[in-house]
Amino acid sequence: MSEANTKPIDAQYYKLLEELQMVDFGLLELSLYLNTHPNDMKAIQQLNQWSEQRHKIAQQYELDYGPLLQFGHSYSKFPWQWIESPWPWQV
pLDDT tens sequence across 24-55: 999 999 999 998 999 999 999 999 999 999 99
Q: pTM of the full predicted structure?
A: 0.74
Residue 1 lies in a domain: no
Q: What is the mean pLDDT of residues 1-9?
A: 56
Residue 3 lies in a domain: no
Sequence-distant (6+) residues with CB within 8 A of 7 are: 13, 64, 65
B/e letters for 28-63, b = 16+ CB within 10 Å, e = fewer, are eebeeeeeeeeeeeebeebbeebeebbeebbeebbe
Domain count, the chain: 1
Domain carrying residue 66: 11-86
